[in-house]
A and B are shown apart, each in its own frame.
Chain A
C-alpha cells in the first residue's frame, strides 16, 4: 500500500478509532496506526463478551444451533485451533470471543448470501477461559460456549 493511501486512512478510520478509544479512557495501543477500512476499533477494544454484545446490539442467547469446537486443553495458548459454525437460517456473521483475553473479540466473520457459516482458525488465549461462538441472526445473538484450559506443557525449563 502506498503512503498516500496510508495517510488517508490515518485521518479516516484510524483517527476516528483513536477518538473512541481515548474517550473510553483506553490505551489506544492497537488503534494508533492506519486501521483498515471498515475495521471497528471499538469492538476490538471491548473487554468482555457483554461489552462486545452491546456493540453488536443484541442480547446473547445460548443456542444449540451454534457450535464451537476446540481442544479441552491447549498446551500452548499462543496457538489454539477453534472452529465455529451456525445452523441458524439467516446467519449474517460469526464471532469468536475469548472472555478472559485482554480484549475479548478475536474475530468476526461477515457472511454473504453464498457463505456457509462454518469457519475455523487458530487463536491466542492468555489463560483458561470460556470461548464463545456467536452467530448474528437478524437482530438476535445466538451463542454456544466451551471452556478451553490453557496450561503450559513440557518441562518448563
Chain B
C-alpha cells in the first residue's frame, strides 16, 4: 500500500519504541511512546461518540493490527517487517475453514451478495443478512461501469488461477481475513468479523471460481 507522508516535518521528531505485543487496545496504546495515541487524541475518541443501533462504543477499540497500521500510516512509515509478520501469522492461524470441506455455493446468490453494500452500520437491522460489499471496491463483472477500484480487479479470477486446493484455500482465507496476508490490508475481514456467514462466503467463492459465473465469462 502506497501512502504519502503528509507533512514529513511533523513526522520527523517522533521517537518510536517497541509496541505492546498483545492486545494493543486503546488503553495500552498510549504508553508505547509514540506520539500517535496521545492523551488528547485518546480523549477525542473517548468523548466524541455514542452507541447507535448495533454500533456500540466497543467499535472504536482497536485491535493490535488496527493500532499498528493506523500509527505507521499516520507517521508515513512502513510497518516494521517483524510486526507485520507477527500480525499476519496470528490472523492466519485463526482462519476458520468450512468443516465439511465444501468451498463452493451458488454463484447467483454470490452475485447478489457481491453487489450488496449493506451491513453492520448503525441503521442496518441486526439479524438481517449483510452484503459483501465486493463490487464497491473490485471489478468483478465485465461491462458493469459501476464497480470500484480500491481493490484489484477480480475479472476472470477462477479462469486465470484454476481451482487447485492451494488457490481455493488461499482465496477463502483472503475473504475470511485479509489481514492474514497483509497486516494492513484495506479489505474488511468478512469472515472474522462475522459480516458474512459461511454459506455467504461459499456463494462468493462460487462467483469467483464457477466457469459459468459472470466473473469468468
Contact = CB atoms under 8 A, between A and B. Distances in A.
- Indicate whether A and B are direct neighbours in the complex (CB within 8 Å): yes
Interface in A53-100: 73
A153 B148 CA distance: 10
Contact of B131 (A73, A152, A154, A157): A157
Contacts, number: 23
Given A155-B117, A156-B136, A149 B131 contact: no
A157 B118 contact: yes
A157 B145 contact: no
B55 to A, nearest CB: 13
A151 interface: yes
A155 B133 CA distance: 8
A145 B136 CA distance: 31
Nearest to B119: A157
Most buried by B among A73, A149, A155: A155
Interface in A123-157: 149, 151-157
Given A155-B133, A156-B131, A156-B136, A149 B145 contact: yes
Contacts of B121: 157
Interface residues of A, number: 9
Interface residues on B, range: 10 to 19
Give the dominant DSSP class at A's interface. Answer: loop
A21 B103 CA distance: 55
A155 B145 contact: no
B116 interface: yes
A157 B115 CA distance: 11
B145 A151 contact: yes
Contacts of B8: none
Contacts of B116: 156
B146 interface: yes
Contacts of B119: 157
Interface in B105-146: 115-119, 121, 124, 131, 133, 136, 145-146
A37 B121 CA distance: 49
Contacts of B124: 157
Nearest to A154: B117
5 contacts: A152-B146, A155-B133, A156-B136, A157-B119, A157-B121
Interface of A: 73, 149, 151-157
- Nearest 9 Cβ contacts at the A-B interface: A156-B117, A151-B146, A157-B117, A155-B117, A157-B118, A155-B136, A157-B121, A151-B145, A73-B145
